[in-house]
Amino acid sequence: MEETQLIGAILTGIALLLFLIIRMKLNAFISLLIAAIWVGLIGGLSGTEIIGSISKGMGDTLAFVATIVGLGAIFGALLEHSGGAQSLALFLLKKGGESRSRLALLITGFIVCIPVFFDVGIIILFPIVKALAKKSGKNVLHYALPLLTGLAVTHSFIPPTPGPVAVADILQVDLGYAIVIGAAIGLPIALLCGVYLSRLITPSELSELDDVEDIQEDFDPSLVRTIFVVLGIPLALILSGSLFKTLALEGVIQHATWIDVLSFLGHPFISLIIGTLLALYHLGTERGLGKTELFEVTNKSLAPAGSIILITGAGGVLKQMMINTGIGDMIAAAMQTSSFSVILLAYLVTSLVRIMQGSATVAMLTGAGIVAAVIPDMTLSMTDKTLVMMAIAAGSVILSHVNDSGFWLVNRYLNHTVQQTLRAWTIQSTMISVTSFILIFVVYQLV
């Protein structure tokens, strides 16, 4: 296959994807599938090979991702319904006091967005932001930007949030590595951008806040403890299982039965089932939810998860199509003869798609699909692949503007004009993206 034909396949495929989403307003799931088929056709695959690529790409991706996203959705719904997110925020605010209220909100967003979607985090926590702004007399952005930063960083960088889980699966990144490195990259960037740099774009004038309820002074301490337990146990199992399995494989410790047991319990399937069962009891049954209400809460939570799962599967199809056409081999060969870094490729492709069509999830999947077709021919350690995953996450945050549904959610809850939201959240999201990529690039060069 000639290189010009393969280059044409990938460029026209991305252009078609953007056209279908931006101009035709077509659903991202259908758009990704059509773009993938187009790449296969232009790339020289036969009809049978294209159908096989769709089946393999969808099946391989959803075999892992569907279970994780489904369990995470139930977990998040229980956290929201129990009032746990608000209790966590009030607990951190009380512990930190007025002087550390911005830090408390950032940490709340960082923790809460592990099991819940970005938009849900905004909906359940913004009443506290507005109440704090009213009580202190400060501009609402003084409190909103730290919270949004915490939510956005976790949403893009740290599994088991759906986007990072999907990218980790496509790039074959161990979730233990992804959680540790995601937190190591995300937390300092969240602190830098959310607590310090956000002050540069926070106006000094007061916000006009009408019909805002005063902030609650009390919260349920037992609920806060429960949240840390039900969130901490599955994460601890994933991390410990990954750690000891890696140590045994590398010969640092001797393989034993207990390592197999811990690896089994630490697999994301098992650990998240355990976490979800704990949440069902402690955030549901123990707090007075009957069987019917518990069923309704969990069943309703799977509706938005279904959309994310299908879009993720379509992203896997695009990846498989680029592998089968040989596009990945071509890009890898070109990169080996040049100084262009795979981590820069990951960031730039993801950023371009994010800016053009708005969806962070679609941007992450497109970037991951292209990079996944390239890295099999490259010698990358697990740490290297995880940093590439982080570069994709950084690119997915950049320049949230009018084509991003998250932009309009922030706009609505802040009660701002479009111009005000552009001057605040658009700049803030770009600062998160650029500063995190700089850190990732530096670390990648050092390891």
DSSP 236-248: HHHHHHHHHHHHH
**Taking the mean position of all CA atoms in its chain, how far away is CA 205?**
33
- HSE value, Cβ hemisphere, 13 Å, CA-based, for 202: 21
For residue 355, CA distances in Å to 305, 334, 364, 404, 433 come to 24, 26, 12, 9, 12
pLDDT, tens digit (0-9, with 9 covering 90-100), for 49-92: 999 999 999 998 888 889 998 998 898 889 888 888 888 988 88
* Residue 120 banded pLDDT, cuts 50, 70, 90: confident
Reply yes or no on whether the pLDDT at 215 is more than 90.
Answer: no
Q: Rounded to whole angstroms, how far apart are CA atoms 22 and 13?
A: 14
* Residue 247 banded pLDDT, cuts 50, 70, 90: confident
Reply yes or no on whether the pLDDT at 210 is more than 60.
Answer: no
**Number of residues written out for the chain:** 447
Max mean pLDDT among 23-32, 38-47, 157-166 falls in: 38-47
Find where tokens 């990072």 sit: 164
pLDDT at 74: 92
pLDDT more than 70, % of the chain: 96
Reply yes or no on whether the pLDDT at 212 is more than 70.
Answer: no
Mean pLDDT of 118-143: 87
Q: Hey, CA dihedral for 159, 164, 169, 172, is it positive or negative?
A: negative
List, as own/partner pairs, every contact residues 226-229 make where C-beta atoms lie below 8 angstroms and the sequence separation is at least 24, other chains included. 226/84, 226/282, 226/283, 227/79, 227/84, 227/87, 227/88, 227/111, 227/283, 229/278, 229/282
Q: Rounded to whole angstroms, how far apart are CA atoms 418 and 132?
A: 23
pLDDT at 135: 81
* Residue 253 banded pLDDT, cuts 50, 70, 90: confident
For residue 118, CA distances in Å to 189, 280, 346, 367 come to 17, 22, 23, 20
Which range (16-20, 251-255, 276-280, 386-390) has the least confidence?
A: 251-255
| Contact present, 312 and 170 (Cβ < 8 Å) | no
Contacts of 323 (CB under 8 A, 6+ apart): 372, 373, 376
pLDDT at 161: 86
* Residue 204 banded pLDDT, cuts 50, 70, 90: confident
pLDDT at 211: 60
For residue 195, CA distances in Å to 101, 142, 390, 393, 432 come to 10, 9, 21, 21, 12
| Contact present, 371 and 345 (Cβ < 8 Å) | yes
pLDDT at 214: 62
Q: How many CB atoms lie within 10 A of CB 277?
A: 13
What are the helix (H) ranges across 250-290?
Answer: 257-266, 268-279
Q: Rounded to whole angstroms, how far apart are CA atoms 355 and 348?
A: 10
Max mean pLDDT among 136-140, 276-280, 322-326, 356-360 falls in: 276-280
Token pair listed for 116:
């819940």
| Contact present, 312 and 62 (Cβ < 8 Å) | yes
Contacts of 126 (CB under 8 A, 6+ apart): 144, 147, 413
- 370 versus 440: the higher-pLDDT residue is 440
Which range (44-48, 331-335, 340-344, 442-446) has the least confidence?
A: 331-335
Find where tokens 């069902």 sit: 280
pLDDT, tens digit (0-9, with 9 covering 90-100), for 325-371: 988 888 877 777 677 789 999 999 999 989 988 888 889 998 998 89
Reply yes or no on whether the pLDDT at 98 is more than 80.
Answer: no
Contacts of 275 (CB under 8 A, 6+ apart): 71, 75, 230, 231, 233, 234
Reply yes or no on whether the pLDDT at 2 is more than 80.
Answer: no
Q: Rounded to whole angstroms, how far apart are CA atoms 332 and 336?
A: 6
pLDDT at 134: 82
Mean pLDDT of 182-198: 95
Nearest to 93 by CA among 58, 136, 54, 62: 136
Mean pLDDT of 221-237: 91
Mean pLDDT of 187-200: 95
* Residue 160 banded pLDDT, cuts 50, 70, 90: confident
Reply yes or no on whether the pLDDT at 231 is more than 60.
Answer: yes
Reply yes or no on whether the pLDDT at 133 is more than 60.
Answer: yes
Q: Rounded to whole angstroms, how far apart are CA atoms 333 and 336?
A: 5
Contacts of 228 (CB under 8 A, 6+ apart): none
Q: Rounded to whole angstroms, how far apart are CA atoms 26 and 19?
A: 9
